[in-house]
Amino acid sequence: MKFITRILRPEQVRELVTLFLIVIIVLGFGTLLTDYYTGRTFVRVSTSIAIIAVVAMAQTLVAITRNIDLSLGAIVGFCAFFLGVQLSYHHEIGPVPAALIAIAIGTAMGMINGLIIAYGRVPAIITTIGTMAIYRTAIVLYSAPEGGIVSAHRLPMWARQFASWSIFKVGDLDFRVMVGIAIAVVILIQLMLTYLPYGRRLYAIGSNPEAARIAGFPAQRIVFIAYLIGGALAGLGGYLFLLQYGNLMVLAGVGLEFDAVAAAVVGGVNIFGGTGTAIGAFLGATLIGTLDYSLRRWPAISEFWRNAILGLLILLAVATDSAIMARLRLIWARAAAARTAEMAEAKARSMPQA
Amino acid sequence: MLSTRLASLRRMQFLRSWEAILFVLFLITLFYNSARAPAYLTVENQINVFYLYAEKIIVALIMTFIIINGEIDLSVSSVMGLAAGVLGRLIELGYPGELALAAALVTGLLCGLWNGLWIAYGRLSSLIVTLAGMIMFRGLVWVLVEDRSITTFPDWINNMGQRPILGPFPLSLLIFFFLLIIAYIVLQHSAFGRYVYVIGNNREVARFSGVKVETVKLVLFIASGLISALAGVLYTARLGAMRASTAEGFELEIITMVLLGGVNIFGGSGTLLGVLLSILLILNLRNGMSLSNITLQQQTGVIGALLIFSVLVPNLATRVRAELNRRRFARLAAEQAALAERKEVKAETK
């Protein structure tokens, strides 16, 4: 216990706890259900997590800066729809250009959010409630000539098969391309948050905006870029959404922003800003996705309990975070200070006396 | 001391001008609509305009309190749905309507208590707690009703929701006016109302001033649950039916009504007059747009844009004004400096 709380950073402890819970759930349901430890389970769970994970990355970025983005679902829906319509008429567009198109549209929509929030100084909740409504209307208007739907059979062949492409197959275990893309995004965002100066600045303005301002951080630009990246990620999410479902209705993506918040919060991201990791959000999405799938397979509980349990899970996650994280941080900070003091002393002792 | 008095005076003046702008927009909408539809200004039509939104505007009243208090309640629509679900399920199981009604209201009260305990005493973010509540309560509706729809309600419930009770006014509108008066008295003319504002302004200052912050927050969220349940029952009575997705998505429009009314999302300021004007504006805007065959979804987009502009434009205006002032002062200072220099030179050459 001492090792854990003194050497590992609190965020890492939180990630490990989430991972531990996932393992418990998998082991628990493994004994309750038959045919649980199969490749089929892995494929189902991993593909259902892929889209939420990407959107959760977008939500995590803005949440760290003490903002929120409630328009992510609408951005995903619009990008999916737009791409779907374009692909239906232009079969010559390949998988990579299609992804770039979706990301570009998503970035533009994220840019609008960023401009209003960062430079217009309109609070994030208000802005994203408004842009969510506007983007949803945009979906309806854009899809009207198409009759409000995108049909899978009118998409190019690669688009219809994309969801089943694999990176590698080990017997029954199928690691799909979609899942690979999602994991790559998670790793990239995690690296950015940990090692790039921009990522560290996100934490800075989230944990203490006043101090960051006095230190001279360009808070507006930082938040603006966060929403840009968020929009780009949502665009990518729209791309994956289209390829997974094929048939789209105007309600595509409704509720995704709330699922993303849930995943982030369960994974240890603090909605008050300043704390949380991309890996944590990904683990949160995995936890929710695994629980979801397992509950659906378990005949003892009807599937209608899904949301009730999810809501309770979110609440418990925040409650324990609020109760425990501060104490963990205190223990770790003291231990780190003691370590630094020790190192300085050792250095002073080893130096020749002046 | 004087500077803060001036600051609050300025803020009050600005707020009054916010309500003035809302009022002007409302009049414009009214004139435009009545020019297009001759029967628009009749009592009958105006009541109809309100009637369709009665449940939402009832919840907007308590949402005003909650947002002024610096919190938010995203779970109101799910509580509406859950109350409707309890009502419907109990009636389906054969219990008397009165019992079902009471149970529905108690359900709302318990939901509000649940939210309130976590937020007030657990000190958790109301955004997350009510988001979790939104998901959880909606989940409970699914458990109760599954994917059926309940359509058999006793006549007296249907009549309560669909027939006018006092003159041309249906019960839901009467309840709205009644709650509006109570809300006004409590918010602007009672100690509790002052506490709500103070806590929204600065929770810690309020606590040190002796205000029982936790009690106030708990009461507000219990009230929110209770009133949402009432709204859910009225909604079901009006439609004569309910299903698991009843009232889904209402919370955003309700919050929009409050924010457009000039209530600060961070708490501490806002008036019921502003919210009332914003309700009038939104309702008549929607009605007018329906007359122009603009679909509901498109209307929501327009309202969303209105919401953003309502905060963006004053922000930009303040910045522009500040910039103009800065330039004016800089110019004045430069002129003063030039004048002083010339005086010096004159004095030297003398």
CATH class held by domain A39-307: mainly alpha
Give the torsion through C-alpha atoms of A70, A74, A76, A80, to 10 deg: 180
Q: Which of A258-272, A335-349, B213-227, B326-340 has the highest mean pLDDT?
A: B213-227
- Mapping DSSP to helix (H, G, I), strand (E, B) and coil, where does residue A218 land? coil
CB contact at 8 A, B126 and B119: yes
- List pLDDT tens digits, range A166-219: 888 887 788 899 999 999 999 999 999 999 999 999 999 999 988 998 999 999
Q: Both B148 and B67 in a single domain? A: yes
Say what the pLDDT of residue B274 is. Answer: 94
The average pLDDT across B83-98 equals 93
Which residues on chain A are in Cβ contact (under 8 Å) with B298? 137, 140-141
In DSSP notation, A34-87 reads: TT-SSHHHHHHHHHHHHHHHHHHHHHHHHHHTT---TTHHHHHHHHHHHHHHHH
Give the gap in angstroms from C-alpha A341 to the nearest C-alpha of chain B: 35
Q: Are residue B326 and residue B227 in the same domain, yes or no?
A: no
B232 and B341 fall within a common domain: no
The answer to whether A325 faces chain B, any CB pair under 8 Å, is no
What is the per-residue pLDDT across B265-308, written as a single tens digit (0 to 9) for each?
Answer: 888 989 999 999 999 999 999 988 888 888 888 888 998 998 89
Name B105's Cβ contacts closer than 8 Å, sequence gap at least 6: B83, B226, B229, B230, B233
Which of B248, B266, B300, B308 would best serve as a mutation to test chain A binding (most A beta carbons within 10 A)?
Answer: B308
Of A14-18, A20-24, A325-329, B235-239, the least confident: A325-329
What range does the domain containing B44 cover?
Answer: 2-293
- Judged by CB atoms closer than 8 Å, whether chains meet at B143 and A315 is answered as no
- Whether residue B1 is predicted with pLDDT greater than 60 in this model: the reply is no
pLDDT at residue B9 is higher than 70: no
Residues B286 and B331 in one domain: no
Q: Which of B293, B319, B342 is the last residue of a domain?
A: B293
Segment B204-263, tens digit of pLDDT: 999 999 999 999 999 999 999 999 999 999 999 999 999 988 898 898 899 999 999 989
Question: Residue A349: in which H helix or E strand, if any?
Answer: helix A306-350
- Minimal C-alpha gap between B253 and chain A (Å): 9
Would you place residue A127 in the very low, low, confident or very high pLDDT band (cuts 50, 70, 90)? very high
Which residue, of B266, B293, B320, is where some domain finishes? B293
Of B118, B138, B311, nearest to A126 by CB-CB distance is: B311
Q: Indicate the number of domains in chain B.
A: 2
Are B132 and B96 in a shared domain? yes
For the residues B44-52, what does the mean pLDDT come to?
85
Q: Are residues B267 and B311 in the same domain?
A: no
Is residue B224 within 8 Å of residue B66, measured between CB atoms?
yes
| pLDDT single digits (tens) A91-109 | 888 899 999 999 999 999 9
* Highest-confidence segment of A139-148, A223-232, B267-276, B319-328: A223-232
Chain A residues closer than 8 Å to B129 by CB: 315, 318
List pLDDT tens digits, range A22-72. 999 999 988 888 888 888 888 889 988 999 999 999 999 999 999 999 999
Give the chain A residue whose CA is nearest to the CA of B146: A304
First to last CA, chain B: 47
- The answer on B335 and B318 residing in a single domain is yes
B81 and B128 housed in the same domain: yes
B→A interface, C-beta within 8 Å: 72, 118, 122-125, 127-129, 131-140, 142-143, 146, 252, 255-256, 259, 265-266, 295, 297-298, 300-305, 307-308, 311-312, 315-316
pTM of the predicted model, to two decimals? 0.87
What is the distance between the alpha carbons of residues B8 and B16, in angstroms, rounded to a whole number?
A: 12
Q: Are residues B313 and B181 in the same domain?
A: no
Least Cα separation, residue B257 to chain A (angstroms): 11
Same domain? For B217 and B303 the reply is: no
Q: Give the whole-angstrom CA distance, residue B13 versus residue A195.
A: 49
CA distance A1 to A274: 25
Chain B neighbors of A307, CB-CB under 8 A: 135-136, 138-139, 142
Which member of B124, B136, B304 has the closest CB to residue A308?
A: B136
Residue that is written with structure tokens 């002046």 in the block: A354
For residue B38, what is the domain's CATH number? Answer: 1.10.3470
Model confidence at B6, pLDDT cuts 50, 70, 90, reads low
**Residue B67: pLDDT over 80:** yes
What local confidence, expressed as pLDDT, does residue B4 receive? Answer: 64
What are the boundaries of each domain within chain A? 39-307
Please indicate, yes or no, whether residues B186 and B331 belong to a single structural domain of this protein: no
Residue B190 tokens read as 């009672």
Q: Are residues B10 and B144 in the same domain?
A: yes
Instruction: Give mean pLDDT, residues A147-160.
Output: 88
ipTM over 0.90: no
